[in-house]
Amino acid sequence: MNKQEGLTLIELLATISILVAVVTVMLVLGDRAVGQTGYLAAQTQAVFLSKEGVEIAKENRGEIRAFMEEETEESFWLLSYKEGVERKSDLQECRERLNVENSPGFYGYGSGEESPFSRCATVWPEDEDGGMEVLVETFFDHRTEEVSVKLHRTFYD
21: in domain: yes
What is the domain count for the chain? 1
- List the domain range (segments joined by +) for residue 26: 9-155
Q: Is the Cα dihedral 93, 110, 134, 74 positive or negative? A: negative
- Residues 94-126: pLDDT tens digits? 667 777 876 666 776 666 788 888 888 877 767
In-domain check, residue 49: yes
In a domain, 47, yes or no: yes
For residue 3, being part of any structural domain is answered with no
Q: pTM score, two decimals?
A: 0.67
What are the tens digits of pLDDT across the range 35-60?
889 899 899 999 998 898 888 888 87
